[in-house]
Amino acid sequence: MGTPFAWRKPTVVASSQTSIIESREAQKTFRERVSRFVTQSSFESTDTLELQRNIGQRLMRESRFLKDPNFQKASNADLQLLAEMYDQYYFGGSLLPWARSYGLDFRWSSRMTRAGGKTTRTVTVNRHTGARETHYEIALSSTLLFQTFRDMSRPIKVTGIECGNRLEAMQRVMEHEMIHLTEMLVWEDSCCAANRFQGIAYRLFRHTEHRHELITPRERAAAEFNVRVGSRVCFQLEGKQFQGIVNRITRRATVLVKDPTGERYSDGQHYRKYYVPITLLRLAN
């Protein structure tokens, strides 16, 4: 089963001192150009495939770390470089300058254990002036990308397209997130389950899905250690042996251990929560 890409609604957070005054004319030009590119362009699959390959090869040539399609290391700068190439080829070179006129960051996230990528808009309101400041961020999950194309082998589809290596998967996730960024800028809201998103994703990149099948910690735990949510497990901590039930699997497993001093759960029992690396768990008999 695929896991949906997560999308976060715009949120209002703490206040800030600065306010950005931007040229309305420049923003209007960016909007017109990006809207035109995403609503009017359509690529044949052979053409978009060639463009995508060129982008991947250029990234390997220009990046400091990313020298192999199954690269072992990548920096936030690589994400930015990749996005810039997509902007040039697919968005008229206007998407990133437009987003940057507000504020834009790229980063790898190790905490994302379900979503392959996430595009976030944060609106900050200055308490004194009432001015709104908008910031965009595109994050890709390093946990998912780096544990896929490693030791477990099964076909991996991202956005409906089979990926042969980590670089291809990274590109598919970035393509998806750049459409989220586009929609947030042009139409305010963005939803990859909706027709508008899927139309753009298909015309530009021939995506047929808005899900990924990257290997999650949950799948790895089940395949390698036979540990699943609900499994009864043992583990050692500071020389003591514990037994409990797996309640959640992210980067580590959350294990509930019966303990009268712990929190009361809906089954009426008291449990304490332990966050345990999956490699340290043994299935209980």
Question: For residues 178-197, which are near Zn ion according to CB under 5 A?
Answer: 192
Number of residues that bind Zn ion (CB under 5 A): 2
5 contributes a contact to Zn ion by CB under 5 A:
yes
- Least Å distance, CB 163 to Zn ion, is 17
Helix intervals (H) in 41-133: 45-62, 76-90, 95-100
Helix axes 166-187, 24-40, angle to 10 degrees: 120
Q: Give the whole-angstrom CA distance, residue 95 versus residue 200.
A: 14
Per CB under 5 A, which region of 1-9, 15-23, 65-73, 166-174 contacts Zn ion? 1-9
- Least Å distance, CB 4 to Zn ion, is 7
What is the dihedral sign for C-alpha 215, 221, 223, 228? negative
255 contributes a contact to Zn ion by CB under 5 A:
no
- Least Å distance, CB 91 to Zn ion, is 17
Q: What value does the CA radius of gyration of the chain take, rounded to a whole number of Å? A: 22
> In this complex, which beta carbon is closest to Zn ion, that of residue 117 or of residue 217?
117
> In this complex, which beta carbon is closest to Zn ion, that of residue 79 or of residue 192?
192
Q: Give the whole-angstrom CA distance, residue 70 versus residue 148.
A: 10
205 contributes a contact to Zn ion by CB under 5 A:
no
> In this complex, which beta carbon is closest to Zn ion, that of residue 168 or of residue 183?
183
* Three-state SS at 269: coil
- Least Å distance, CB 171 to Zn ion, is 15
- Least Å distance, CB 109 to Zn ion, is 15
Q: What is the binding site for Zn ion (CB under 5 A)?
A: 5, 192
